[in-house]
Amino acid sequence: MAKQAFVIPRSELVASGLIPASAEGKATYTRLTKDMLAKLFELAATPGIGTFRERGGPHDVEKDPTVQQIIVYGFVVRPDGRFMVYQRSATEAYDEERLRGRVSLGLGGHMEPSDLSLEHAFYRELDEETVITAAGQTLNFRRQDGTTDIEHMQQYVRIEPVGLIKDERDDVGAHHLGIACRLSPVQKDMEIAVRPENGENVHSSFITADEYRQQVQSGDIVPEGWTDIVFREEIAQ
């Protein structure tokens, strides 16, 4: 059975003023207002507008320009300004080959049919992709049935949707709409790192804006497009 992606028709997003009517070859970032966020959630929850489509197979959503796959893309910034980056696996462990080996600051991914909402999708992805510790102790948010205890996680992690990423400079961005979310640990003694054992991500670290610029300029790291956008709009201020 093919994987599924949650999508919203591009026409609905344009009509609601959430994305530009034409962005071919361009990258845009729109800061979210409360009204815009409410409209996005309304579209997502409306039957027949927000829906799931197959990724791969004869009806591959990756080949349909009339819809946008909705992606949650969370970033972590410490009070001292350092932010988390990690490297995606360069092997088949990471299934999006167009992003293999790239450096990212975004945590998250597609909404899945088992998710109750976009917010729940983010918490589930965060649980799957990261290890979160508090006072040196690893926190466990998994229920016995393997699902994520969202309410428990919300006691430790705060999510703030801050912007919409629309990057149509390549095929990846052309078919996706990113919801940039600022991720804030509730407690001061909490740490977040990518989970290496799932094979998708190699390692993570916290770096300064200057270190990021230097590593990109020297070619030591090659960031994915969305990472550069979020860095410019939300971190390098």
Question: What CATH number is associated with residue 107?
Answer: 3.90.79.10
Q: What tokens appear for 204 in the block?
A: 């993570």
* Strand 190-194 to 130-134 pairing: antiparallel
List, for residues 176-209, the tens digit of each pLDDT value.
999 999 988 888 888 888 776 555 556 778 999 9
Q: Which of 5-19, 32-46, 78-92, 127-141 has the lowest mean pLDDT?
A: 78-92
Q: For residue 132, is pLDDT > 80? A: yes
Are 66 and 11 contacting, i.e. CB atoms less than 8 angstroms apart?
yes
Q: How many separate domains does the chain show?
A: 1
Q: What is the DSSP letter of 46?
A: S
- The pLDDT assigned to 92 comes to 46
The answer to whether the predicted template modeling score (pTM) of the entire model surpasses 0.85 is yes
Q: Which domain holds residue 41?
A: 3-235
Is the confidence at residue 73, as pLDDT, over 50? Answer: yes
User: Both tokens of residue 54?
Assistant: 């197959």
Distance between CA atoms of 98 and 128, rounded to whole angstroms? 21
The pLDDT > 90 percentage for the chain reads 43
Amino acid at 9: P
The pLDDT of 198-225, averaged and rounded, is 83
